[in-house]
Structure 1
Amino acid sequence: MIYAGIDIGSSTAKAALIKDNRLLATHVIPTGYNPLNAGIAVFEALLEKVTISKTDIAAIVSTGYGRASINFADKAMTEIICHGTGTHFMNPDIRGIIDVGGQDSKSILLDKNGQVENFAMNDKCAAGTGRFIEVMANALEVRLDQLGDFSLRADKASKISSICTVFAESEVISMIAGLQKRENIIAGIHESAAARVAILAFKVKIKEPVMMTGGVAKNKGMVAALEKRLGFKLIVGDFAQENGAIGAAVLASRL
């Protein structure tokens, strides 16, 4: 039997397939303005990738901020549960999750069975999220996939004092005008975001080993800044961005 999970995030839509309790395939596309269309598109693209049809899918679970819009799913479930399930499926030793997505960040504490013991979520402010980093990247005219390399070349991280994205952007623009090194500014942006995320991790008393998930996990500068703030190494898997969709697919197999 094949099971599907669809995760509609604010920036990207992800889909995953599980067969015989193993990951079969994943796919990621930009969400765009219509979450239902994104869900249909990412699901159909994934089916085409593995050359199977919709009739081969036994059950579908949707998750993410746009989960309720996926009207062809059998059930919608929260990101917290799906990220916990996906992480435990990929690595049963993990006890903590730090997920940094486009519009929110989360810290999740798991028990040995992969059940969520505690979690904290920042969903009222863009600071410490992918959107915060994206806004700063645009101000600096640097592609998102280049940020990590830039920040790791910094000799001193610039100090970003504002926790508000709008005010922080103004600070960055002033730093650019003041001819501060772009590498140092980017390192400062990562340290500022990491400080916000670390608060959530400390709040849930996160335990090692900890896996970082979400699209921001692909940014090695942000990973390094978080590790420095937390005082331990983070595990970043090959499917960090698709973790929620993987968890949704696993949960679909249990319906």
Structure 2
Amino acid sequence: MFTSELEDALSLETRADLIVRHALEKGYDGGRRATVGFCVGVRHARFMTHSLNARSHTVVAAAVTGDTTPEERRALYARFSDSHDPLEWLFVADVLNEGVDLPAINSLLFLRPTESLGLFLQQLGRGLRLHPGTEVLTVLDFVGMNQPATSALLPLQALSSGTLALQASPGHHATLTWTAPPGCEIILEDRTARVLADLQRTLGRSSATEKLAAAYSALRADLGKPPAPADFTG
């Protein structure tokens, strides 16, 4: 899907309502909110900024994109880092992936899909700087790494200190289990948990099929011909 099509699909007031509701519900740690939302493009970042600013006089958001001049960026970053400034939300596109240090960040919103685990970890790292008065980073992922669909499991795989496993119980859906890093908690919405469990199950089946295909190919190469029942009788 092209960027313009993604922006059309993601720039919806109903989606903005969902994002704001969860962001306010989950909250933040520290004296004031300092939230960065990663958007798919310039238009999406501007949409989210306008949507939040239109909701209340007490909500102040700004967009920082590749079109923002270096001087404007520095000014916005300074305001965002000032505990007395009302600017508490930054929606960014094509910037802030690396090379910018904003320790005040205490909340991240993933609002765009990505195929790159490296980019996901870079963006996550924006909120992991130590900052006085803040001990917890709140991360809300509203999209997941779902292009291709198998990438949806990568954040869990990256953050888990063990392997992902399916746990089944009679009469219930299989659940996906993992071990979060020390000091971390990963919470999935019920629907998300079911989707990821189904995906892990599908990948497990694919893995078994691939192993059978590889074993067949090895046997065929060893025999020099397609195997037949007679090849397995003494």
Using structure 1 for the length normalisation, give the TM-score: 0.28
TM-score by length of structure 2 reads 0.30
**Could you say which structure has the larger radius of gyration?**
2
More strand per residue:
1
